Amino acid sequence: MVRALAQGTFDLLHPGHVHYLEEAARMGEELHVIVARSANVTHKDPPLLDGRQRRDMVGALEAVDRAHLGHESDIFAPIERIDPDVIVLGHDQHHDEAAIERALADRGIDCEVRRASPREPAHDDELLSTGRIIDRIRERRC
Q: Would you list which residues are annotated within the binding site for ATP?
A: 9-10, 14-17, 92
R_g over Cα of the chain? 15
Rounded to an integer, what distance in angstroms lies between the CA atom of residue 98 and that of residue 109?
A: 14
Binding site membership: which residues? 9-10, 14-17, 92
* CB contact at 8 A, 28 and 3: yes
Residue type, 100: I
